[in-house]
């Protein structure tokens, strides 16, 4: 479906080496170079900067690389839906932000599949901004998110409340009732899964609402995944601020120790978000199923 030249570009843009790209594609290096040169002529712009043996993407090349990922993801979704249709199954794709997708939505999807064997559900986990764009484009049917979104643009229904808690190596924090204000003043270190993560944004809002002091830059560590946050906390490197959903297993096993914030609970809403143009029959059915499974109905 997608032009061959774009497939070649995608590989070359990933490895930034035409010889290596040719090996991965099972082509000759001159053929790869010719195909990429033709693509640049067709688009009327340079995609690669070639300086000796090194290759870099131009600004236009970086844009095309990002758009290619969306295009290939769309192609994969179309082919999957066609295969499901050939097998007589109804196919839907759900999106979840990191906490909601990894620790809530996976279990819901598995349970829904068991009770609805003729329905094929697919899950994509990512950041809220990317998922919302795909929801608006009709590539996703429903999102579960703990992150911010435009409530005036999408339809939404609350699913549950998620509490962020202080998590540390066993014995590092003596009291379960952890005072964030005292910890900041004495120089405790705090660990997050990125400065742009939903957890860090919730933490910053909490400081403002509770009128707490701001930790200085040396007190905050940001890493690229929840698993990395857990590992740092387990090693005694600081206090991780994590969703209670994300650490249930580790707390139960005793690998990590959790508490509560003395200043009050640090909560955020986990919501189902969908488009007015979405497939409402499935959306309503899935949301009702998930609520019943938790034994809670949030409908007014």
**Percent of the chain topping pLDDT 70:** 93
Is the predicted pLDDT of residue 299 greater than 70, yes or no? no
pTM score of the predicted model: 0.70
Is the predicted pLDDT of residue 233 greater than 80, yes or no? yes
The structural domains of the chain, ordered by start, are: 4-68 (1.10.10.10), 75-158+271-294 (3.40.190.10), 161-268 (3.40.190.10)
Is the predicted pLDDT of residue 189 greater than 80, yes or no? yes
Q: What pLDDT is attached to residue 69?
A: 77
Instruction: Compute the average pLDDT of residues 284-288.
Output: 94
According to DSSP, residue 53 is labeled T
Q: Helix %, strand %, coil % for the chain, to 5? A: 50, 20, 30
Q: What pLDDT is attached to residue 89?
A: 62
Helices H, strands E: what count in the chain?
12, 13
Is the predicted pLDDT of residue 133 greater than 90, yes or no? no
pLDDT mean across residues, the chain: 89
Distance CA 232, CA 247 (A): 13
């Amino acid at each position: 479906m997608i032009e061959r030249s774009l497939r070649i570009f995608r590989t070359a843009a990933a490895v930034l080496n035409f010889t290596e790209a040719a090996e991965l594609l099972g082509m000759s290096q001159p053929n790869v170079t010719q195909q990429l040169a033709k693509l640049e002529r067709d688009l009327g712009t340079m995609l690669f900067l070639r300086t000796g043996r090194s290759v870099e993407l131009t600004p236009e090349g970086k844009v095309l690389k990002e758009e290619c990922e969306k295009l290939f993801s769309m192609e994969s979704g179309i082919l999957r839906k066609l295969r499901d249709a050939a097998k007589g199954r109804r196919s839907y794709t759900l999106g979840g932000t990191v906490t909601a997708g990894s620790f809530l939505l996976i279990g819901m999807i598995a349970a829904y599949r068991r009770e609805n064997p003729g329905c094929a559900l697919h899950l994509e986990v990512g950041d809220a901004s990317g998922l919302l764009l795909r929801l608006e484009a009709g590539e996703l049917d429903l999102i579960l998110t703990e992150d911010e979104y435009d409530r005036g643009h999408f339809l939404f229904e609350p699913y549950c409340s998620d509490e962020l808690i202080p998590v540390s190596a066993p014995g590092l924090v003596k009291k379960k009732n952890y005072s964030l204000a005292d910890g900041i003043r004495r120089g405790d270190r705090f660990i997050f899964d990125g400065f742009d993560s939903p957890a860090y944004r919730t933490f910053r809002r909490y400081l403002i609402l509770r009128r707490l002091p701001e930790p200085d830059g040396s007190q905050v560590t940001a890493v690229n995944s929840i698993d990395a946050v857990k590992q740092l906390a387990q090693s005694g490197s600081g206090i991780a601020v994590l969703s209670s959903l994300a650490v249930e297993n580790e707390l139960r096993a005793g690998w990590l120790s959790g508490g509560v914030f003395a200043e009050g609970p640090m909560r955020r809403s986990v919501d189902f978000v969908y488009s007015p143009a979405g497939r409402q029959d499935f959306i309503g059915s899935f949301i009702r199923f998930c609520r019943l499974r938790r034994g809670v109905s949030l409908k007014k």
